[in-house]
Amino acid sequence: MSTSSWKISRRTCLQGLGVSLGLPLLDGMVHGEQKTRPRPRRMCCVYFPFGVAMPKDGTPDRQWGWFPTGRGADYQLTNPLKPLAALRNELTVLGGLSHPRGRSMGGHDTGDTFLTGAKLSGSSFSNTVSMDQYAAAFVGDQTRFPSLTLSSDGGVGEPTRSTTLSFTRTGRPVPALASPQQIFNRLFGAGDGSTEAQRRRLEQSGSLLDLLLENSRSLKRRLGTRDKKKLDDYLASVRAVEKRVQQSQRWLSIPKPKIDPKSVDLAVDQDAPREYLRAMYDLLFLAFQTDTTRLATYMIGQVAGATTIANAFPACIGLKGNWHGLAHGAGKAGGAERLGRFDQFLAEQFGYFLQRLHETSERDGTLLDHTLVLYGSSNSRTHQNRNYPLVLAGGTGLGLKHGHYRRYGNEVPLSNLFVTMLDRIGVPVKGFADSTAEMS
C-alpha cells in the first residue's frame, strides 16, 4: 500500500463554526509535478535609522557596541546582537560596507538610497530603482503580489525623508503600508464585491489605459525634448499599472490563502513597539509562508529625526529619550549602553522573525534556508554614511555559508552584496548601481 498522502490542494483549509484556518504545506499538497519545480526563493530587506553604538575597543562600554569583537568564525557577539546567538550559523555580520555615492550625502538623507545606491543631489533629488523592485520586474509575476512594501510611518514621505525603501524603475517611491489590519486585509482579505464585478472593473481599467496610451502617441509628436522625457516617464508608470491590472486579472479567480486573523495581533499600533514590530514581522512571515509574495521590504523608521513615528519607540519601552536623541548621545557617558539596549531590543524582534522562518519546514529545508534577509542601517554612528551595520541571514539552501563576521574595505561597495543577493534568488543580473563584482 502506498504511504503517500492523497493529492491535496495547497489552498485547502479547515472550516467550521464560521472560522476558516489555513493549513501548513503538507506532503500531500506537493504533487509530482510540483516536486520537480524550483522551490521559491525569497528576499526581505529590513532597515532601521540613526546608526548604532560604536564605543572604541578596550573601553568599558565596548560590550554595548553593535559590531562584534574578533573576526571571521571566531568572532564574539556583543550585547546588542546577542539575541541572534541561537541563529549564529544562519547569519553573517558584515562591516565596512556602504554606498560610495552616499558617503558625502547628509546623514539624514541616506534612507532613500539604502536599496538603490543612488546619490541624491541638486534640486531634483532623482532616485533610481531599488533592489527589491529590480527583482520584482523579473520574478514578481510568480506570486499574487510582486512585492510587499511596509514601513512604520506608511506612505512615501518626501525626498531624502522617504518613508519607504522601495523605488520604481524611474525612481518614484512605492507607497508603504503601516497598519497591520490594513496589511492583513490586503494580503488575505476577501476584498469587496463579487469576482465578476472585480473583473469588470479591471477590464474597464485596461480599456482606459489602452485609450490613454493611444492618445499619448499623437501628443508626443508635438512636444519638445524635455517634455517628451517627462511623458515617457509618465507612460512608463502607466505601463506598470497596466501590467498590474493584467496580473490582477490572472489572480482574480484564485482564492487568497485562508489565514486565521487571530494568528496576528492586528489591533496593535505604534504606541506598543514590541507588539507592533512582532505583528509586522508576523505578516512578513505569513506572506512568505503562503507564497503570497517573495519580495518584501520593511522600514522600521525613517531618518527624519523627530518627525518619524518610530522616533518614540525607545520611550515606549522604558528608555529615556527618543531614538534620534539616543543616537546623538551614544558618545557621552553611559550613552553607548542606552543606545545599545535599544539596538538589543530591535535585534530581539528581528531574531523572532528569523526564528519563525527557521522553525518552519518546507521541501528540502526551512523557509529561512530559501530566504535572504538583509537587516541594517545606512549610518554607522549618527550622520556617518560609512561602515553600515549589516546582518545577512538565511539562504543556506541558495548556496550561502554563514557563521562569520566579515569586514570589507572602502573599495567594496554595498551594491556588490546586492548583486550576489539578486543572483541567489534567480534574478539575471550583471551589475547593480555602482557594483564592481559579486560579493566574495
Please, which pLDDT band fits residue 415 given cuts at 50, 70 and 90?
Answer: very high
202 vs 323 pLDDT, higher one: 323
- For 247-273, what is each residue's pLDDT tens digit? 555 555 567 677 777 778 777 777 789
Least confident span in 10-14, 170-174, 356-360: 10-14
3-class secondary structure, 306? helix
Instruction: Look up residue 104 and give its DSSP letter.
Output: T
Confidence (pLDDT) at 35 = 58
Least confident span in 109-118, 206-215, 396-405: 206-215
Is residue 105's pLDDT more than 70?
yes
- For 188-245, what is each residue's pLDDT tens digit? 875 555 555 655 555 555 555 555 566 666 667 777 777 777 667 656 655 665 565 5
Q: Determine the Cα–Cα distance for residues 434 and 391; give it in Å rounded to an integer.
A: 21
Confidence (pLDDT) at 193 = 54
Confidence (pLDDT) at 82 = 98
- Average pLDDT on 420-431 reads 97
- Looking at every residue in the chain, the average pLDDT score rounds to 84
Please, which pLDDT band fits residue 186 given cuts at 50, 70 and 90?
Answer: confident
- For 272-309, what is each residue's pLDDT tens digit? 899 999 999 999 999 999 999 999 999 999 987 667 88
Strand partners, 45: 297, 374
The domain spans of the chain are 1-37, 42-181+261-424, 191-255
Instruction: Look up residue 172 and give its DSSP letter.
Output: P
Q: Determine the Cα–Cα distance for residues 393 and 281; give it in Å rounded to an integer.
A: 15
- Average pLDDT on 156-160 reads 90
- For 17-61, what is each residue's pLDDT tens digit? 333 333 344 444 455 545 567 789 999 999 999 999 999 999 999
**What are the start-end ranges of the E strands in 136-255?**
148-151, 157-158, 161-162
Joined together, the cell numbers standing for residue 343 give 539596538
Contacts of residue 230, Cβ cutoff 8 Å, sequence gap at least 6? none
Confidence (pLDDT) at 147 = 98
Q: What is the per-residue burial (b if ≥16 Cβ within 10 Å, else e) of 270-299?
A: bebbebbbbbbbbbbbbbbbbbbbbbbbbb
Q: Which amino acid, residue 174?
A: V
Which CATH architecture describes the domain 42-181+261-424? 3-Layer(aba) Sandwich (3.40)
Least confident span in 88-97, 163-172, 247-256, 357-366: 247-256
Q: Determine the Cα–Cα distance for residues 227 and 225; give it in Å rounded to an integer.
A: 6
Is residue 128's pLDDT more than 60?
yes
Q: Which range has the top average pLDDT, 73-87, 159-173, 257-271? A: 73-87
Q: Which amino acid, residue 274?
A: R
